[in-house]
Structure 1
Amino acid sequence: MLHYALVFLVVALIAALLGFGGLAGVAAGIAKILFFVFLVLFVISLIAGRRRV
């Protein structure tokens, strides 16, 4: 999941450099959403891992 967030971030940066503002905004938004989903799942897995021990 973090890999996909980084891929969309790179796509957004390249699109912004080439002047595709709309595409850069969409890719940056997707990257942001995927990053926050990754963070939530990571915190949940940390909490679940501590409960088992």
Structure 2
Amino acid sequence: YLLQALSPQNVSVGEWNGTNKDNCNSIDTAILIAPQNATNWTSPDSNISSVEIR
């Protein structure tokens, strides 16, 4: 699975913890490899009220 967190302005925000990470087209991407089925996302340095996880 590939997971991305984007702000309403379609900007990559926050950070993924507990999984492999990569940068796809300037978007931080979490990479979950089976059997991993969970990861954590946080945004400690921003005041974003919502993000879209895709």
Asked whether the two chains share a fold, i.e. TM above 0.5, the reply is no
TM range (shorter): under 0.3
Instruction: Report which of the two has the higher share of strand.
Output: 2
Which structure has the larger Rg? 1
More relative contact order in 1 or in 2 (CA 8 Å, sep 6+)?
2
TM-score by length of 2: 0.22
Instruction: Report which of the two has the higher share of helix.
Output: 1
